[in-house]
Amino acid sequence: MHLTPRPHDLLWGLRPEQLPQEAPAWARAALGGHVPVVVRRAPAEPGWVAVGIRGAAREQRHAAWMRLSDISRLVSPQAVARAGRWRHHPRPYWPALCALSQLAPRLDELSLAWGVTGSLGFELASGISAAHPDSDLDLSLRVPHPLSRDEARALCALLDQAPGRIDLQLETPHGAVALREWAGEASRVLLKTQNGPLLVSDPWRLQQVAA
């Protein structure tokens, strides 16, 4: 299977024996249980993708690389949103799940691709317990065309009506910027790119990168 994974996509197919010798034992154990890896923003050689392995403990995170040809399955944050499995979660009263149920129809109205990331997205996509009652709701919104700061503020106001802590990342063609940062007053904002963070005045125009 040959695909072009994006940050936050979940990939299946990386096996424990493919990790380098210095990889921690918990990472090998996780992959032995068919746990998916998460695409991360980092440079990778042609034919490879940078990924992260999640362990059972919050501090267990390991950076690795995976061959594109080894991907057996890919689930994007947008696919998690479309599937709507949070509606059948056994603990619908968790703030993140309440917020997701409240926001989903409003986000659908934006006519932009949105998705669920973070621990909740991981759990909904894989069926592996990862979220907890205090988990944040992490969302991504693909915005191929510029979103004005006033529009960003209106979106923040929408999120503020929902319970719990919500972190929404705007995915531009060049990287990701936090919605709340773009909705602020700073002249430059932090854009997360494949080659590291950049300070930019416009996340949709990389020629304005700060020196």
The answer to whether the beta carbons of residues 180 and 165 sit under 8 Å apart is no
Sign of CA dihedral 162, 151, 189, 143: positive
The answer to whether the beta carbons of residues 135 and 104 sit under 8 Å apart is no
What is the DSSP track for 154-206?
A: HHHHHHHTSSS-EEEEEEETTEEEEHHHHTSS-SSEEEEETTEEEEES-TT-G
Name which of 120, 110, 105, 109 is nearest 166 in CA terms: 120
The answer to whether the beta carbons of residues 126 and 154 sit under 8 Å apart is no
Same domain, 171 and 91: yes
- Classify residue 15: in a domain, yes or no: yes
Pairing of strands 137-142, 166-172: parallel
Instruction: Cite the active site residues.
Output: 136, 138
Q: What percent of the chain has pLDDT over 70?
A: 96
Place of tokens 């993140």: 96
Same domain, 51 and 124: no
Mean pLDDT of the region 25-36: 92
Q: Band the pLDDT of 10: cuts 50, 70, 90.
A: very high
d(CA 9, CA 76): 4
d(CA 194, CA 125): 24
116 CB-near residues (< 8 Å, 6+ apart): 77, 80, 81, 86, 100, 124, 137, 138, 139
Q: Which two tokens stand for residue 75?
A: 């689930």
- Tens of pLDDT, residue by residue over 64-105, are 999 999 999 999 999 999 999 999 999 999 999 999 999 999
Domain extent for 159: 77-208
Same domain, 53 and 88: no
Same domain, 100 and 189: yes
Sheet holding 166-172, edge to edge: 114-117, 137-142, 166-172, 175-178, 189-193, 196-200
Domain end: 75, 96, 112, which one?
A: 75
Same domain, 61 and 98: no
Instruction: Check residue 207 and give its pLDDT.
Output: 63
- Tens of pLDDT, residue by residue over 182-198, are 999 999 999 999 999 99
Please state the domain count of the chain.
Answer: 2
- Classify residue 123: in a domain, yes or no: yes
Count CB-CB contacts under 10 A for residue 105: 8
CA atoms within a 13 Å half-sphere pointing along the CA-CB vector of 91: 13
Instruction: Check residue 1 and give its pLDDT.
Output: 46
Same domain, 49 and 115: no
Count CB-CB contacts under 10 A for residue 98: 16
Quote the pTM value.
0.93
d(CA 50, CA 65): 5
Same domain, 86 and 69: no
